[in-house]
């Protein structure tokens, strides 16, 4: 698995660009992990955009993303517009399983990576990207993978629904009521085209209830 900062420039630039010019924040150097980025403030909602919430978290849904009907096991689902030449939209699925439920961050990241096959046969974990940032005081694990996607992948599912040239961008937010999982999959060009919007959504995540209230 790549441990470089290749995954972070878009998220970092997007988040910092909307930060106050003179933020009244101090950072304890002893508390900063080498692989983690400094905290980023929640971004303001773009005009005309919607918000959504689950498990004590609130976020902005980017304009142009279509909220889909409720589906089992999902807190929310959004379709993103397909890129020119792509025949299907991207899909952003949001999962929340409850406090202390849904497995560890590592287990979920590995499961996502295992849903992709590489042409050269290497494990996707060797070529995928993973980093940790902080958004509004909460740890967020960011991942990116691409290859042939097994859309039906599950513990006992056959590898039958294979989709070549697919991409995944994921974010796992360790929120006040447990982990919330944001999984963006779709044709490679579509996901790349919507990556900035995904970054804006992640950057907008904040607690929906102030601690202590």
Length of the chain equals 213
Interior/surface letters 81-94, b for 16+ CB within 10 angstroms, e for the rest: ebbeebeebbbbbb
Q: Rounded to 5 degrees, what are φ and ψ at 74? A: -120, 140
Per-residue pLDDT at 33: 40
Query: In the predicted model, what is the mean pLDDT of residues 40-66?
Result: 79
Q: What confidence category does residue 140 fall into, taking pLDDT thresholds of 50, 70 and 90?
A: very high
Whether residue 148 contacts residue 127, with contact meaning beta carbons closer than 8 Å, is answered with: no
Three-state secondary structure call for residue 77? strand
Cα torsion 76, 81, 82, 87: sign: positive
So what's the pLDDT on residue 161?
82
Percent of the chain whose predicted confidence (pLDDT) is above 70: 71
| Residue 126, phi then psi, degrees to nearest 5 | -80, -20
Confidence of residue 190 (pLDDT cuts 50, 70, 90): very high
**How many angstroms separate the CA atoms of 64 and 48, rounded?**
10
Q: Span 8-15+49-207: which CATH code?
A: 3.40.1000.10
Q: Model confidence at 51, in pLDDT bands (50, 70, 90)?
A: very high
Q: Which residue has the higher pLDDT, 30 or 85?
A: 85
Q: Using an 8 Å Cβ cutoff, are 68 and 79 in contact?
A: yes
CB 184 within 8 A of CB 199: no
Q: 158 falls in which pLDDT band (50, 70, 90)?
A: low
What average pLDDT does range 193-211 have in this prediction? 91
CB-count burial class (<10 Å; 0-12, 13-18, 19+) for 172: buried
Share of the chain above pLDDT 90, in %: 67
Q: How many beta carbons lie within 10 A of that of residue 120, not counting itself? A: 8
CB-based burial label for 142 (10 Å; 0-12, 13-18, 19+): buried
DSSP tag of 2: B
pLDDT at 8: 55
Domain range annotation of the chain: 8-15+49-207
Contact 140, 17 (CB under 8 A): no
The residues that bridge with 163 in the sheet, in sequence order, are: 149
């Amino acid at each position: 698995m790549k441990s470089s900062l290749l995954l972070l420039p878009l998220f970092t630039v997007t988040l910092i660009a909307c930060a106050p010019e003179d933020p009244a924040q101090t950072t304890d150097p002893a508390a900063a992990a080498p692989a983690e980025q400094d905290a980023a403030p929640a971004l303001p909602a773009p005009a005309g955009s919607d918000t959504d919430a689950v498990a004590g978290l609130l976020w902005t849904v980017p304009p142009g993303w279509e909220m889909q009907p409720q589906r089992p096991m999902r807190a929310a689902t959004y379709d993103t517009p397909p890129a020119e030449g792509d025949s299907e939209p991207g899909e952003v699925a949001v999962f929340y399983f409850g406090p202390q439920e849904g497995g560890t961050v590592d287990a979920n990241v590995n499961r996502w990576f295992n849903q992709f096959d590489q042409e050269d046969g290497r494990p996707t974990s060797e070529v995928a990207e993973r980093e940790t940032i902080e958004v509004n005081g909460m740890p967020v694990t960011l991942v990116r993978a691409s290859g042939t996607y097994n859309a039906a992948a599950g513990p006992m599912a056959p590898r039958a629904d294979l989709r070549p040239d697919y991409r995944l961008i994921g974010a796992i937010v360790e929120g006040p009521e447990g982990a919330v999982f944001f999984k963006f999959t779709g044709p490679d060009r579509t996901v790349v085209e919507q990556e900035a919007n995904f970054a804006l959504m992640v950057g907008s995540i904040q607690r929906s209830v102030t601690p202590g209230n």
